[in-house]
Chains A and B, each alone.
Chain A
């Protein structure tokens, strides 16, 4: 009887190991795929950022301004700059 129990126990362990190994393998595959996708997305993101940096570079913005707007840009004078403070959910505007 003891022998049968031990054999059954070992068989059980073998089956469990196989199942665990299979599911781990699946997880590993999923992790690998996700990692690959993340690296692809990161790459894509940095390229989009590069494009954004190029398109929003000061030189380009000035080019668009002169192309699409009739009025010239004016620089802001120091005394026109207001300082906004938020104290107790209230906006306080200082000169």
Chain B
């Protein structure tokens, strides 16, 4: 029923009433519109159902989400440890030397950047910055601001300048805290410590090998190296580089009883603070990474192997030794024609006889010599505390390889492995692992015996005679009071499989031989003779001018003698071991 019909019905009723009562008064009666009331009642019902329905939907959704949250919460995280993750961690532990001196210190530095979009008053900002950084080129800074891109105004600013900048309260100045590694010893430990990248990840040396520990452990990493000793050795090597004009050199000083490395220098080195990218191969770590043929240094191993198997004795005599023998295409001869043809084992080592060593090698045989070299860690890959170690090398063994390997040719290894081999021979035959980490020392002390005690004693006595006797090749290292023993090694470098005239001169010293405590290896890479250098003999003979021969006895031994002379008092007092 529409509105007009309703109105008509009301008027009709009114007329009826007027006519019935016959009065002139018009009475209006209340009219109850039931239709509208019923419609409202129905609307209320629909709204309630809708609300209930929406509430129900929300309840279901929240219930599903709750189940998912509980499920995720019950899962155990499966995060794999990765050594090569990239992280901008805000911490990196310091590295200390044996005497708790800082070798590396982490400091927090602040870099100041500018966000041009946030600049409100450019002129005012430039004036303020000019006051704080008067030395800066502001034409360039203006250009950078106009480019509207974020740029660094100054890196590693001082606390004073930082405070001044903060007083400006300019939103466009963005300070960024960064970690910075400081190396107070500059070049001294560059090959040991290594470098880190901009993301606080180690990329070489100890920084790389102990990356996880340095980031996670809230404790400084203490090394075995001694700064004073390292400095003195490096200084002597630098002097040697000037005298003998070699392209590089290395020296390792190690405690024979526990493998503790007190010093490890490799030249050339680099200043860690400069954070240069080192690409020149001459900067290789000559102590651990570079492989060389070491020459006569290996004769000690050959003799020790034969003594250990009781195949020879110190006094076993080899008679009628040839001056030259042919093996395949190559001829093996003595370095000195004055070497007699009848030699005892001891004389072979003292006089560094090549042919005698070949004969001992032949008595030993391939397997025994190879196994002995592997056992003492001279062959194969060494386990060490830095990444830069030489990979394992494979050699094809045959009669000629056996002959040449007996006197240290045709077989290559690293300086660290040779030092380890000598340490084992000197310490009574106990296996050790060279280490740079102080906390590893205790677990490394006298593990297993791999060489017989009497072999070790015999070798120590013979090595002493190499230095102390007139016929020995290392008289220049006979520093009074230290009972130095050792063996020289002069080898020719190879290039594309051919021997060249370039030399590698090595001397491995152990001292004191009566109770060995230290092994010192000195290697000079491509030394040359020096006609002006004056040699002061240790037995008081008249000094001699000029290097007579480019052999280890006239180069590396001289350097090792100087080193022992300098570091000896420190070892004798600070370490209280040499009596």
Q: Is the CB of B231 within 8 A of A78?
A: no
Besides A46-B105, A75-B565, 5 more A-B contacts (Cβ < 8 Å) are A50-B102, A53-B185, A75-B566, A76-B569, A78-B572
Give B84-117 as 1s and 0s: 1 = Cβ < 8 Å from A's Cβ atoms.
0000000000100000011001010000000000
Q: Is the CB of B231 within 8 A of A50?
A: no
Give B166-191 as 1s and 0s: 1 = Cβ < 8 Å from A's Cβ atoms.
00000000000000001011101000
- A81 partner residues in chain B, CB cutoff 8 A: 569, 572-573
Give B287-310 as 1s and 0s: 1 = Cβ < 8 Å from A's Cβ atoms.
000000000000000000000000
Q: Compute how far the CA of A79 lies from the CA of B480 in the bound complex, rounded to whole angstroms.
A: 8
- Contacts A77-B481, A78-B482 given; indicate if A50 touches B569 (C-beta within 8 A): no
Q: Is the CB of B569 within 8 A of A47?
A: no
- Contacts A53-B101, A78-B572 given; indicate if A59 touches B566 (C-beta within 8 A): no
Q: Is the CB of B231 within 8 A of A59?
A: yes
Q: Compute how far the CA of A46 lies from the CA of B231 in the bound complex, rounded to whole angstroms.
A: 23
Q: Is the CB of B480 within 8 A of A78?
A: yes
Q: Compute how far the CA of A46 lies from the CA of B184 in the bound complex, rounded to whole angstroms.
A: 13
- Contacts A49-B102, A53-B102, A58-B231 given; indicate if A77 touches B184 (C-beta within 8 A): no
> Which of A47, A53, A81 has the most chain B CB atoms inside 10 A of its CB?
A53
Q: Is the CB of A78 within 8 A of B569?
A: yes
Q: Is the CB of B569 within 8 A of A75?
A: yes
**Is B228 an interface residue when CB atoms closer than 8 A count as contact?**
yes
**Is B232 an interface residue when CB atoms closer than 8 A count as contact?**
yes
Q: Compute how far the CA of A49 lies from the CA of B101 in the bound complex, rounded to whole angstroms.
A: 8
A-B contact count, CB below 8 Å? Answer: 47
Chain A min CB distance to B147 (Å) = 37
| Closest partner residue, chain B, to A60 (CB atom) | B184
Chain B min CB distance to A32 (Å) = 20
**Is B227 an interface residue when CB atoms closer than 8 A count as contact?**
yes
Q: Is the CB of A47 within 8 A of B232?
A: no
Q: Is the CB of A50 within 8 A of B184?
A: yes
Give A46-72 as 1s and 0s: 1 = Cβ < 8 Å from B's Cβ atoms.
110110011001110000000000000
**Is B568 an interface residue when CB atoms closer than 8 A count as contact?**
yes
- B188 partner residues in chain A, CB cutoff 8 A: 57, 59
- B residues within 8 Å of A by Cβ? 94, 101-102, 105, 107, 182, 184-186, 188, 227-228, 231-232, 479-482, 565-566, 568-569, 572-573, 578
> Which of A49, A59, A78, A81 has the most chain B CB atoms inside 10 A of its CB?
A78
- A59 partner residues in chain B, CB cutoff 8 A: 185-186, 188, 231
Chain B min CB distance to A54 (Å) = 4
- Contacts A46-B105, A47-B107, A77-B481 given; indicate if A57 touches B185 (C-beta within 8 A): yes
Name the contact of A50 in the complex, choosing from B105, B568, B572 (C-beta under 8 A): B105
Q: Compute how far the CA of A88 lies from the CA of B184 in the bound complex, rounded to whole angstroms.
A: 43
Q: Compute how far the CA of A58 lies from the CA of B566 in the bound complex, rounded to whole angstroms.
A: 13
- A57 partner residues in chain B, CB cutoff 8 A: 184-185, 188, 227, 231
Name the contact of A58 in the complex, choosing from B182, B227, B481, B565 (C-beta under 8 A): B227
Name the contact of A78 in the complex, choosing from B101, B107, B227, B568 (C-beta under 8 A): B568
Q: Compute how far the CA of A77 lies from the CA of B538 in the bound complex, rounded to whole angstroms.
A: 13
Q: Compute how far the CA of A81 lies from the CA of B571 in the bound complex, rounded to whole angstroms.
A: 11
Would you list 13 pairs from A and B whose C-beta atoms are within 8 A, ordered by A residue?
Answer: A50-B105, A53-B101, A54-B184, A58-B227, A59-B185, A75-B565, A75-B566, A77-B481, A78-B481, A78-B572, A79-B481, A81-B569, A81-B572
Q: Compute how far the CA of A54 lies from the CA of B185 in the bound complex, rounded to whole angstroms.
A: 7
Q: Compute how far the CA of A76 lies from the CA of B102 in the bound complex, rounded to whole angstroms.
A: 27
Give A69-95 as 1s and 0s: 1 = Cβ < 8 Å from B's Cβ atoms.
000000111110100000000000000
Q: Is the CB of B182 within 8 A of A50?
A: yes
Q: Compute how far the CA of A57 lies from the CA of B479 in the bound complex, rounded to whole angstroms.
A: 27
| Closest partner residue, chain B, to A78 (CB atom) | B481
- B94 partner residues in chain A, CB cutoff 8 A: 46
- A76 partner residues in chain B, CB cutoff 8 A: 569
Chain A min CB distance to B162 (Å) = 15
| Closest partner residue, chain B, to A55 (CB atom) | B184
Chain A min CB distance to B224 (Å) = 17
| Closest partner residue, chain A, to B108 (CB atom) | A43
Name the contact of A77 in the complex, choosing from B105, B182, B480 (C-beta under 8 A): B480
Q: Compute how far the CA of A50 lies from the CA of B566 in the bound complex, rounded to whole angstroms.
A: 26
Q: Compute how far the CA of A75 lies from the CA of B102 in the bound complex, rounded to whole angstroms.
A: 25
Q: Compute how far the CA of A57 lies from the CA of B183 in the bound complex, rounded to whole angstroms.
A: 11
- A58 partner residues in chain B, CB cutoff 8 A: 227-228, 231-232
Q: Compute how far the CA of A75 lies from the CA of B569 in the bound complex, rounded to whole angstroms.
A: 8
Chain B min CB distance to A10 (Å) = 40
Q: Compute how far the CA of A49 lies from the CA of B105 in the bound complex, rounded to whole angstroms.
A: 10
| Closest partner residue, chain B, to A80 (CB atom) | B569
The A14-65 residues at the B interface (CB cut-off 8 A) are 46-47, 49-50, 53-54, 57-59
- A54 partner residues in chain B, CB cutoff 8 A: 184
- B228 partner residues in chain A, CB cutoff 8 A: 58
The 10 A-B residue pairs with the shortest CB-CB distance in the complex, in nearest-first order: A78-B481, A58-B231, A54-B184, A76-B569, A53-B102, A50-B105, A53-B184, A53-B101, A50-B102, A75-B566
- A49 partner residues in chain B, CB cutoff 8 A: 102
Chain A min CB distance to B148 (Å) = 38
Q: Compute how far the CA of A23 lies from the CA of B285 in the bound complex, rounded to whole angstroms.
A: 62
| Closest partner residue, chain A, to B97 (CB atom) | A53
Chain A min CB distance to B337 (Å) = 37
Q: Compute how far the CA of A81 lies from the CA of B577 in the bound complex, rounded to whole angstroms.
A: 13
Chain A min CB distance to B507 (Å) = 20
Q: Compute how far the CA of A75 lies from the CA of B567 in the bound complex, rounded to whole angstroms.
A: 9
Chain B min CB distance to A24 (Å) = 29
Q: Compute how far the CA of A47 lies from the CA of B182 in the bound complex, rounded to whole angstroms.
A: 11
- A47 partner residues in chain B, CB cutoff 8 A: 107
Q: Compute how far the CA of A53 lies from the CA of B228 in the bound complex, rounded to whole angstroms.
A: 12
Q: Compute how far the CA of A46 lies from the CA of B565 in the bound complex, rounded to whole angstroms.
A: 34
